[in-house]
């Protein structure tokens, strides 16, 4: 059969691809969407896997950020510290100070650590300039990328006071430091000019050590540096390990989420691509029989039909890789900001593994029916290819005919039983699409609840400081000297509280402070937040128990209960400034601050403590900004300050997960719809002769559309009934796992987010997916002329 060599086989392949254009397009598009979703999910999983470690290595991050007194340690002495044993690299000294600027609207910002650097590049802490340019002259500043947003853009201005009366700084760039060595950067000369008596100039040195995997190794390195300079020259230091722990804890909750969507995407991709491919080959059995009748060998038949599936699939795979990379870019950009990491890109091996796996799936899905077709005899292949086996699904037609529905509808309802394997594949596609939609709706609602349950202090309209906004970001070590510390101005909390009460527009307020304390049986100190007044408006979301409402009570987080082996109802002995009190745990709060070890109690239990902050709610119609300005004028002479809080915005991390959920769900639902489309196309083409007979007997185009849509209606209903409970259960499994990965249980407000009407609509989503997938072939069937349909086989 020489005449059926490569040329003839090639013509058969090209003819098959071109003749079944709808199936060719569906295979290409379904494969493209499946590959794109797999690339996105795979890229995000890689990005969430130790993002800090990879970014830290790329930026040559600082293992230790140290602040030195420039009076006690000269530039030469600081540069000489890089020769110390164990120091692998260093950068600096850079002039450093602290500023508290006002934005263009006059709102005071938190204190910022400002470092003078001539450029972003360095042997240690090689900054990633995200946008704009580096500060090149006086009056220019580069902010940390975390400030980038609606409030601060390139060209925004900041106002800060200095010895000369004040400086206006223009934001010219946004940079990212994985090591978090500063909040802002300027030229060295500008930084020195902004230093003052209250915010003295220090020298920043950045170090990388040969060994820095543990706290002890970093501490040992710091001790050697302290010994290498004059006594008291080392003012404070910051270890990268604390930043690393925070970043890793932030990344942990995304892993269960991405695994859930990744598994959904992979399973659905296999089902859809396999179904589409095998359906395309299986529907060609009659043509296969004809090819065998004219001399094609079984091997040539198998090769031809596997190739007919692989050609459009290969096009779809190539497009899917490109689309997946394009869709992953904005999500990876957001992930960078949330995790505080350097530039993230799609891992090269994801772009290799996903296409190869997709080709294998398509090849196997096409090979199985092609091998079956190759083994059939010529007569059997032609007979089987004409229609389903005689009698298959007849019982369904008999049952459906008894329903009080139009005959076209009952005919359509019984049609899926003629091809049970194809029907099961379509049912699974609709069910998985509904599972994805249900899970995404619940996840989005839960993440919104998480955003609303963040630190309650951020929800207050106005924050009043009784002694300054808080400590500087660099931790002060035991070797710090008094000259290097910036003391907050003295303040009388009682007088500031009286000013708050007297201020017109005050609706309610409560006082709070954070102190160091110890807990009997624990090691080291913990942070205890103490409250004065009615703090219910500032209470955390409760997982169990209730918020503090009197003396002798303490509310703790899940992390505290886990590490101390206690539970709600137990008592703990808390010591603050030598005063020991026995407090009863009355509630478990949704609080991840300080690794879940923060305590909350009444300030009445510890009389030595005084409130340092007052959180104020203003009366309706009162502008928080105007209120804060007036109150600030009253309390600044008392050593205090007031600041209006910006409207609460959702955390970047929450927005990222919601974006991921929306994108992946849209892709999965689209793939499910394509699976339905392909199956209905195949069914419609196989029944084209029957449809011609029905049209000849008087079936109208509208009835034809009803018949085709009815053929998937039952699948849509069953898919919705299966998918909604499965999505509900998946939400109930994944969310607690995400919470535990973040070191906390979750409150009911985060878990119980579904409402009955949502579940009903989600169940209808199964019907919507099925109907939308069948709409196009239904229109094609309705428009087909009777004579053409009767001639078509």
> How many CB atoms are located within 10 Å of the residue 225 CB?
25
| Helical spans, DSSP H, in 647-755 | 652-686, 688-696, 701-741, 748-751
Q: Answer whether residue 696 shows pLDDT above 80.
A: no
**Of 40-44, 341-345, 368-372, 638-642, which range is least confident?**
341-345
Rounded average pLDDT over 426-451: 82
**In this predicted model, what pLDDT tens digit does every residue of 31-61 receive, in sequence order?**
787 788 778 777 767 766 666 777 788 888 8
> For residue 700, which phi and psi values (nearest 5 degrees)?
-80, 165
Give the pLDDT band (50/70/90) at residue 701: confident
> What is the DSSP code (8-state) at residue 540?
P
Q: Answer whether residue 162 shows pLDDT above 60.
A: no
Specify whether the CB–CB gap between 559 and 477 falls below 8 A: no
- Give the pairing of strands 641-644 and 462-465: antiparallel
- Give the pairing of strands 202-209 and 87-99: antiparallel
**Of 265-269, 734-738, 758-762, which range is least confident?**
265-269
Angle formed by the axes of helices 298-339 and 254-282, nearest 10°: 160
Distances (CA, A) of 793 to 290, 385, 681: 13, 10, 14
Q: Which of 283-297, 318-332, 503-517 has the highest mean pLDDT?
A: 503-517
Q: Answer whether residue 737 shows pLDDT above 90.
A: no
Distances (CA, A) of 646 to 101, 145, 633, 655: 16, 18, 20, 18
Which residues of 210-314 form beta strands (DSSP E)? Answer: 234-239
- Going by C-beta distance under 8 Å and a sequence separation of 6 or more, which residues neighbour residue 535? 510, 512, 547, 548
Distances (CA, A) of 469 to 79, 109, 383, 597, 640: 34, 9, 84, 23, 9
Q: Answer whether residue 352 shows pLDDT above 80.
A: yes
Give the pLDDT band (50/70/90) at residue 470: very low
Q: Which of 85-94, 457-466, 739-748 has the highest mean pLDDT?
A: 85-94
Model pLDDT, residue 492: 79
Query: Rounded to an integer, what distance in angstroms lies between the CA atom of residue 768 and that of residue 315?
Result: 29
- Locus of tokens 């029944």: 687
Average pLDDT, the chain: 78
**Nearest Cα residue to 793 out of 290, 278, 276, 277:** 290
């Amino acid at each position: 059969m020489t005449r059926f060599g490569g040329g003839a086989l090639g013509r058969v392949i090209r003819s098959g691809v071109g003749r079944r254009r709808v199936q060719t397009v569906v295979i290409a598009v379904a494969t493209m969407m499946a590959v794109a979703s797999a690339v996105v999910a795979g890229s995000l999983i890689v990005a969430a896997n130790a993002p800090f470690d990879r970014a830290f290595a790329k930026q040559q991050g600082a293992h230790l950020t140290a602040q030195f007194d420039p009076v006690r340690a000269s530039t030469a002495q600081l540069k000489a510290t890089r020769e110390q044993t164990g120091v692998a690299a260093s950068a600096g000294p850079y002039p450093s100070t602290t500023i508290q600027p006002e934005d263009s609207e006059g709102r005071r910002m938190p204190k910022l650590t400002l470092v003078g650097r001539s450029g972003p590049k360095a042997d240690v802490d090689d900054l990633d300039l995200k946008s704009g340019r580096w500060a090149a002259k006086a009056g220019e500043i580069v902010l940390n990328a975390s400030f980038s947003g609606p409030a601060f853009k390139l060209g925004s201005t900041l106002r800060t006071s200095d010895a000369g009366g004040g400086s206006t700084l223009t934001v010219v760039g946004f940079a990212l430091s994985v090591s978090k060595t500063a909040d802002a950067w300027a030229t060295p000369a500008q930084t020195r000019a902004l230093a003052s008596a209250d915010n003295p100039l220090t020298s920043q040195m950045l170090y990388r050590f040969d060994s820095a995997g543990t706290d002890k190794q970093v501490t040992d390195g710091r001790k050697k540096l302290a010994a290498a300079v004059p006594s008291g020259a080392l003012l404070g230091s910051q270890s990268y390990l604390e930043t690393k722990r925070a970043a890793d804890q932030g990344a942990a909750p995304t892993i269960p989420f991405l695994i859930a969507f990744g598994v959904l995407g992979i399973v659905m991709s296999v089902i859809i691509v396999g179904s589409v491919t095998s359906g395309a080959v299986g529907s060609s059995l009659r043509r296969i029989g004809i090819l065998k009748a004219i001399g094609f060998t079984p091997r040539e038949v198998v090769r031809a039909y596997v190739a007919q599936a692989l050609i459009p699939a290969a096009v779809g795979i190539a497009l899917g890789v490109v689309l997946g990379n394009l869709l992953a870019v904005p999500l990876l950009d957001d992930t960078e900001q949330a995790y505080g990491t350097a530039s993230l890109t799609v891992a090269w091996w994801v772009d290799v593994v996903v296409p190869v796996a997709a080709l294998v799936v398509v090849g196997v899905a096409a090979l199985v029916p092609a091998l079956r077709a190759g083994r059939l005899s010529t007569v059997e292949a032609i007979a089987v290819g004409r229609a389903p086996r005689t009698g298959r699904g007849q019982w369904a037609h008999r049952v459906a005919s008894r329903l009080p529905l139009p005959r076209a509808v009952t005919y359509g309802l019984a049609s899926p039983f003629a091809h049970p394997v194809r029907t099961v594949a379509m049912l699974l596609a609709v069910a998985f699409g509904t599972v994805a939609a249900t899970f995404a709706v619940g996840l989005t609602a839960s993440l919104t609840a998480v955003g609303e349950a963040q630190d309650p202090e951020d929800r207050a309209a106005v924050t009043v400081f009784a002694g300054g906004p808080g400590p500087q970001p660099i931790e002060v070590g035991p070797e710090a000297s008094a000259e290097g510390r910036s003391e907050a101005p003295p303040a009388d909390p009682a007088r500031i509280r009286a000013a708050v009460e007297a201020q017109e527009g005050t609706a309610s307020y409560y006082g709070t402070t954070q102190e160091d304390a110890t807990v009997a049986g624990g090691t080291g100190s913990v942070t205890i937040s103490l409250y004065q007044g009615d703090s219910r408006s500032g209470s955390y979301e409760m997982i169990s128990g209730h918020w503090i409402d009197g003396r002798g009570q303490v509310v703790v987080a899940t992390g505290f209960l886990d590490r101390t082996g206690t539970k709600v109802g137990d008592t703990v002995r808390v010591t603050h400034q030598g005063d020991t009190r026995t407090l009863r745990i009355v509630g478990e709060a949704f609080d991840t601050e300080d690794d879940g070890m923060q305590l909350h109690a009444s300030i009445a239990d510890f009389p030595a403590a005084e409130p340092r902050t007052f959180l104020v709610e203003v009366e309706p119609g009162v502008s928080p900004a105007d209120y804060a300005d007036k109150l600030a004028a009253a309390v600044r002479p008392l050593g205090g300050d007031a600041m209006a809080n910006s409207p609460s915005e959702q955390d970047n991390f929450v927005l990222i997960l919601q974006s991921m959920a929306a994108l992946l769900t849209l892709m999965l639902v689209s793939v499910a719809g394509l699976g339905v489309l392909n199956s209905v196309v195949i069914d419609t083409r196989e029944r084209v002769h029957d449809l011609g007979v029905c049209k000849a007997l008087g079936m109208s185009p509208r009835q034809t559309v009803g018949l085709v849509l009815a053929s998937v209606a039952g699948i849509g209903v069953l898919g919705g009934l299966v998918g909604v409970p499965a999505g509900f259960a998946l939400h109930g499994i994944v969310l607690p796992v995400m919470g535990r990965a973040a070191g906390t249980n979750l409150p009911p407000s985060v878990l119980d987010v579904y409402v009955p009407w949502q579940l009903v609509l989600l169940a209808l989503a199964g019907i919507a997916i099925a109907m939308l997938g069948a709409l196009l072939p239904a229109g094609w069937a309705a428009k087909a002329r009777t004579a053409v349909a009767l001639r078509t086989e």
